[in-house]
Amino acid sequence: MEMGGVGNDDHSSGGGGGGGGDGREHVVMFPFMAKGHTVPVIHLAGALSRRGLRVTILTTPANAPFLRRSLPRRRVSLLSLPFPSHPRLPPASSPPTTSPPIPPTSTPPSSAPPRSSAPRSAASYSNSSPTPPPPPLARSASSPTSYSPGFYRGGGGGGGGGARAWLVGPMSLLAARVNAEEEEDPDHDPEGCLAWLDEHRPGEAVYVAFGTQAHVADAQLDEAAHGLVGSGHPFLWAVRSETWAPPAPLAAQIQSRGKIVRGWAPQNAILGHVAVGGFVTHCGWNSVLESLSAGKPMLAWPMIAEQVLNAKHLAEILGAG
């Protein structure tokens, strides 16, 4: 994929990745703007660059420093795309992890429009597409894995424009091999997570992380902390909330039993550590792949998106959680 104007890229250390006109194929990557989604893209970008391709990662000014730290020797370019500001939205430079949760609506039900005034259909598929309309959706939501087979692919092969797609990964396995070959240090660990794990016996500790997108209320974090303390196992917990402050008695128990990480935690290295015996996870797919690759069982607490499906697959099909 070629993108015009990449000559102004912010080159990562290692240089040379983003210049134009050298005849190489140019791959442009735009990951979802959360660290958990960005890390596999970084690994893939490094793999492609080592194959002789030019690679540019599009990012935001807030995420660019993290990307620069994660690309110490790879010939990959960064292009920052600032978003326009809006007075009623967080600053354009804010990463998604710092955005406040959306409060519930305060509109009383009595002010809602009557049902009779609502349209019977929000869209019409009549003569709007050469492909057949979607099949009827299931009436029952009793199973989170219910699906409509007709959505897999319409007849006649009309979807995708004939483009091919390949499944690749887990990228964390490739990254571990490359880091060993190139003597890179992949474990940027400012919080000392790995040193803390070194103090514990094999399989003794529990790693806990719920991703960067779902909002977990502080009261729920209190309950989770009580459960972790009561388990009797040492635990390493990556906490996203900037407001959570457990009550003094609970805080003392946490300090004696576990380690709370408020900043960046090198999850792939943590899961690969011999002291970690299990992973309490939100079941984001990247976390699932990293845990499976490390051979660590999971205790699932799915929250949003496809995480319920992932958890069901882990528990009922793979037997890994």
Domain hosting 34: range is 24-83+165-176
Tell me how far apart the alpha carbons of residues 208 and 231 are, in angstroms, rounded to a whole number. Answer: 13
Query: Which one, of 247, 248, 227, 94, lies nearest residue 237 by Cα?
Result: 227
Task: State pLDDT tens for residues 91-113.
Answer: 655 555 555 555 555 555 555 55
Calculate ∠ Cα 276-297-228, nearest 5°. 60
Is residue 2 classed exposed, middle or buried when 0-12, 13-18 and 19+ CB atoms within 10 A define those classes? exposed
Query: Which one, of 290, 289, 295, lies nearest residue 267 by Cα?
Result: 290
Structural domain ending residue among the three candidates 176, 209, 234: 176
Same domain, yes or no: 172 and 222: no
CATH of residue 298's domain is: 3.40.50.2000
Query: Which one, of 223, 207, 178, lies nearest residue 266 by Cα?
Result: 207
Structural domain ending residue among the three candidates 176, 197, 219: 176
Calculate ∠ Cα 98-104-109, nearest 5°. 165
Q: How many domains does the chain have?
A: 2
pTM of the full predicted structure?
A: 0.67
Asked if pLDDT for residue 156 goes beyond 50, the answer is no
Task: State pLDDT tens for residues 114-155.
Answer: 555 555 554 444 444 555 555 565 555 555 555 555 545 544
Same domain, yes or no: 222 and 312: yes
Tell me how far apart the alpha carbons of residues 159 and 108 are, in angstroms, rounded to a whole number. Answer: 43
Rounded (10°) CA dihedral 281, 168, 165, 21: 120
Which of 102-116, 204-218, 256-270 bottoms out in mean pLDDT, i.e. has the lowest? 102-116
Query: Which one, of 128, 283, 262, lies nearest residue 193 by Cα?
Result: 262
In the block, which residue shows the tokens 């990228």? 171
* Residue 192 belongs to some domain of the structure: yes
Provide, rounded to the nearest whole percent, the portion of the chain with pLDDT above 90.
38
Tell me how far apart the alpha carbons of residues 300 and 284 are, in angstroms, rounded to a whole number. Answer: 10
* Residue 159 belongs to some domain of the structure: no
Same domain, yes or no: 197 and 72: no
> Where does 99-190 show beta strands of DSSP type E?
none
Cβ atoms 29, 41 nearer than 8 A: yes
Same domain, yes or no: 193 and 304: yes
Tell me how far apart the alpha carbons of residues 5 and 305 are, in angstroms, rounded to a whole number. Answer: 35
Tell me how far apart the alpha carbons of residues 295 and 49 are, in angstroms, rounded to a whole number. Answer: 29
CA atoms within 13 A on the CB side of 141: 0
pLDDT category at 296 given cuts 50, 70, 90 is very high
